[in-house]
Amino acid sequence: MDSSIRRLYEDLRTVRVVVVHPPGEDRDTLVDQLRRIGCQLSLVWPFPPTPPSGADVILFHVTQELQGGGVWCSSEVDATLVALADYESPTTLKLLLNTHAHGVLTKPFRSAGVLNTLVLARSAKNFQTVQQHKIRKLEDTIKSRRQIEKAIRVLMEHEQMSESQAYEHMRSRATALRVTVAEVAGMVVDARETLDKLGLNDGTRRRP
C-alpha cells in the first residue's frame, strides 16, 4: 500500500468524528462501524445551527425535511464534511451540491463503504486545503505586484524618477527597514493618498 494512503487509513484512529444524525437504526449502524475503525466519536442531535467545533470530521444529516440541513459548506468549515443523505432526489442533490461536501453516504447505511468514504473524504479535504493555500498565495502575489506598480507610478509622477529608479528606491528602503518591497509600496501609496485627502497634492514635485 502506498505510504500516503496508509497514513490516511492510520490517521482515522486519531481523528475526532462528530455524527449529526437523529437516533435510530441508521445512526447505530454508522456508529458501530466508526467505533470499529477506532475513531474518537461524538454524537450530536438535534441539528445545531452551526457546525460542531473541535471536530476533524463531521458526518451530518442532509434531508429535504430538515430546515438548515444543507446550509453548511466545506469552504466555511475547517473539518472534513461527509453528508448523510436520506435518499436520492433532485432536491436532495441540490442540497448536497450546496454543501460542497467531501464525501456522501446514502441510506440505508452499511458497514461496507464507511472506511473508504472517510479516507477519500479526508484526502479530498487535504487537497482542497492545499489548493486554497495556493490560491491565497497567488492572490497575495498579484495584489503585491499591483501595489508595487501603483507606487512606481506615484514616484515617477511626483519624484521625477524613472521606473527602474523608483523600484530600486523602494527595494533599498525595504532592505533598510527589513520589510518587503510590497510593504514599502503600500507606504508610498498610503502617503500619497493621505496628502491628496489633506489637499496637499500641488502637482508634480520638481527636483531642484
Query: Would you state the pLDDT for residue 4?
Result: 65
Q: Out of 59-68, 110-119, 130-139, which region has the weakest mean confidence (pLDDT)? A: 59-68
**C-alpha to C-alpha distance for 32 and 36, rounded to whole angstroms:** 6
17-47 pLDDT, tens digit per residue, is 999 999 999 899 999 999 988 888 999 998 8
Residue 182, classed as helix, strand or coil, is helix
Query: Would you state the pLDDT for residue 38?
Result: 85
Residue 126 CB partners (closer than 8 Å, separation 6+): none
**C-alpha to C-alpha distance for 18 and 7, rounded to whole angstroms:** 21
119-168 pLDDT, tens digit per residue, is 889 888 888 889 989 999 999 999 999 999 999 999 998 888 999 999 99
- Show the cell assigned to 123: 484526502
pLDDT band at 207 (very low <50, low <70, confident <90, very high): very low
Q: What are phi and psi of 130, to 5 degrees?
A: -65, -45
Query: Would you state the pLDDT for residue 169?
Result: 93
Q: Where are the alpha helices (DSSP H) in 17-70?
A: 25-37
Query: Would you state the pLDDT for residue 2?
Result: 63
**C-alpha to C-alpha distance for 154 and 174, rounded to whole angstroms:** 17
**C-alpha to C-alpha distance for 171 and 155, rounded to whole angstroms:** 13
Query: Would you state the pLDDT for residue 44?
Result: 92
In 23-169, beta strands by DSSP E: 40-44, 57-62, 80-85, 103-106
In the chain, beta strands by DSSP E: 16-20, 40-44, 57-62, 80-85, 103-106
* Percentage above 90 pLDDT, the chain: 38
Mean pLDDT value across residues 89-115? 83
What angle, rounded to 10 degrees, do the helices at 114-158 and 163-177 form?
120
**C-alpha to C-alpha distance for 88 and 106, rounded to whole angstroms:** 8
- Kindly list the structural domains of the chain, giving each domain's residue range(s) and its CATH number in brackets, ordered by start: 3-112 (3.40.50.2300), 137-197 (1.10.10.10)
pLDDT at 71 exceeding the cut of 80: no
pLDDT band at 110 (very low <50, low <70, confident <90, very high): confident
Residue type, 147: Q
Query: Would you state the pLDDT for residue 202?
Result: 56
